[in-house]
Structure 1
């Protein structure tokens, strides 16, 4: 599932591609992917211009005007492809929006959605999210307060969008590895020094991953050399059986609750690294 780095990379790339370009056509191939009738969806969007693209957590917000916002959540398996009709993805496309000769294709949008909302409706959705982990308001003190008294696994807290917005399976594992903490550690067991390591790891991992284009390896457009650049840099996620880059022990899969999780049991003991 795309997480904060993937969605932020999409936001930056699409911001350049869609700059001042009007929507000239659109096609809805799966009505469940949108929240209004296809005719109304088309009527409200064709001829409009995407003024800007914002991100909140794992969501993108395409701002049409003060009262219309396209809110995108790709969920599991969703991705986007930009190109001409000749570059149409060789997969089922749920929604496509044309900007002249080029189109933005939404693929794998089975669980995900592209909803046309009013500003008030969008705010109601976003209000449920926790703070952005790379924002000024997300301080070490704020993280300490979030962890305090919570008898849940660290991974479970990191992926809870109501607690912190934008972190999912991949980056929770990468953050725990960088901090030298087991994903299964109980939040209320962390000491001050461990919280400080965790805070630094959140910032470092998400910043590096965003700069590298995230871990999803399907390019946004032909010639895109940014998207997916972090995949080769993942230290533990989906690396079961490979040697730990820090100590050489084998990375193991050790699920936390119902979520798959990867870690090094040798150097993520929680006792410091």
Structure 2
């Protein structure tokens, strides 16, 4: 599933290409992905413009010029494409939802357990109200991070992927953050020292900013002009590197299940505290 850096990458690329462009066409092939009658849903989008795009957790929120919001959740394997209308028939036929902006079309494919809902501002706020704080919010700092984690118990990885605790992370970046902080994913939060939590904070920010700079680990590019998406895959230090040497200490990267989740780590240089 796409995580915070991948969605930040899509947000950046989409913002460069569809902001302030009028919606000229809407096609829906999977009614279950939207939240009203298809004809009515499509009609409400016709002629609207996207003023800006916001990421909240693992979702994108398209702010429209009439005050409405399009909330996009790609689910486990969803893809976004933004191509010209002359794109090959295969991509056109496979699109579950297609929103045209003049000579460009935003296509949503492979969405499982996801959705794209048209909501009022209040409805969107309610839909997202169960999410925890954003790690990249301007208000987030070391003090607030320490306060947040000081109240939490249980395993580090379980906390990092808990969307009601903090929003946006999943399996992949939780492992990279734990490695950067030299903490085992199974480390107990209640046993961490103040120094360890401070190290975790700086490691979290380092991994996220680096991942966003290099376009995340996503494999599906937005379009042929997209030379950013997926650039971070060559920078990962533990994800899918089981059996390889740890670049920090030379030991072998391990793969195991932690909290019923596939997890990568170095048992030598990552510690419980």
- TM-score, normalising length from structure 1? 0.95
Counterpart in the other structure of 1:265: 267
Q: Relative to structure 2, which stretch is displaced further, 227-236 or 136-145? A: 136-145
Distance in 1 of aligned mates of 2:5 and 2:42: 30
CA RMSD of aligned residues (A): 1.5
Counterpart in the other structure of 2:224: 222
Distance in 1 of aligned mates of 2:121 and 2:77: 27
Shift of 1:155: 0.6
Counterpart in the other structure of 1:251: 253
Q: Relative to structure 2, which stretch is displaced further, 17-26 or 172-181? A: 17-26
Counterpart in the other structure of 2:18: 18
Long gaps (5+) in structure 1? none
2:105 is matched with which residue: 103, 106, 111? 103
Check 1:151–1:167 CA distance in 2 against 1; reply closer, same or farther (3 A cut).
Answer: same
Counterpart in the other structure of 2:64: 64
Counterpart in the other structure of 1:150: 152
Long gaps (5+) in structure 2? none
Distance in 2 of aligned mates of 1:195 and 1:30: 45
Shift of 1:117: 0.5
Counterpart in the other structure of 2:161: 159
After TM superposition, the runs of 4+ consecutive aligned structure 1 residues lying more than 4 A away are: 88-91
> Is the partner of 1:137 in helix, strand or coil?
coil
Counterpart in the other structure of 1:37: 37
Counterpart in the other structure of 2:214: 212
Distance in 2 of aligned mates of 1:245 and 1:124: 44
C-alpha contact 1:140 1:195 (8 A) present in aligned 2: no
Shift of 1:149: 4.8
Distance in 2 of aligned mates of 1:266 and 1:66: 55
Aligned length: 271
> Is the partner of 1:263 in helix, strand or coil?
strand
C-alpha contact 2:20 2:50 (8 A) present in aligned 1: yes
C-alpha contact 1:81 1:105 (8 A) present in aligned 2: yes
